[in-house]
Chain A
Amino acid sequence: MARALVGVKRVIDYAVKIRVKPDKTGVVTDGIKHSMNPFDEIAIEEAVRMKEKKLVQEIIAVSCGPAQSQDVIRTALAMGADKGIHVEISGPEYETLQPIHVSKILAKLAQDEKADLVIVGKQAIDDDCNQTAQMIGGLLDWPTGTFCSKVEKTNGELNITREVDGGLEVLKMKMPAVLSADLRLNEPRYATLPNIMKAKKKPVKKMTPKDLGIDTAARIDILSVEEPPARQGGVILPDIDTLITKLKEGGHV
């Protein structure tokens, strides 16, 4: 049976309206509500469902980031993951941490833990990169099912339905494989209180990129982070006729 490694990222909660720092170095994260990246919740849920169908034997949840990243590992454990690995990276090193670093860490862990399935969310809602699954696939030379909306396992192979621009696409791939979860893959469960309590007893291994032999030197310099240009406030029109007049003035109709 398969062993699944699932990557989970701690990000600013999706409902928070972010603020850019006045010195343009980044966004304000101190004292802001964080939670598990929504796509990663879907990734964990899929792994847990596979375990419930006896397709997966063990689920290892991994997060790379500062000490607080342990919170999202605990959430993953409460949802049904068996054990956690926290790869601690903080400070300036974390500021310039890119999917290339994370994918190297996850690829190494996948090998060390003898995983044959790596599942991550399709993108993190903070950096919006959409790269990690693809890069893990490249590093391990494993087939990669990106933007999955359906995953089925038959005879040791995976049947993947992907969300592509014009509709859907179906692929068949061999294990070991990497998958990235799209929104439509499933509806993540809530962690119940008893499960949250149980999760506290599950093991979480702490390590550093150095332990894994991964170099996290910056691949980019962040020159600035700025507010997007604000849109000019519009007007509320009284009726359809006025709207049509405005659209005609604008040359739209």
Chain B
Amino acid sequence: MSTKNWPLWEVFVRSKNGLEHRHCGSLHAADEEMALENARDVYTRRSEGVSIWVVESKHITASNPEHNGELFEPAQDKVYRHPTFYDLPDEVKHM
């Protein structure tokens, strides 16, 4: 098998009761249809009511860990930037 024609795909799955798609791994496939089928076999065991997203890895742009300082740290030392001072009623889940 030549991996040249079998690019890497990232797989995101939303489980039956899940709220959002989570990244659960990657796999090789020749195109998006095959990627979906493979993802269904490898990652979902065909549970019903799940949603699968596949995206070819080359389409994902990742942030550079070297830039963590300027990207993420400034927000952390200013508490007023985070909405942490509200009391949430129990009925509101998943905030």
Partners in one complex: no
- Show the binding face of B for A, using Cβ within 8 Å: none
- Show the binding face of A for B, using Cβ within 8 Å: none
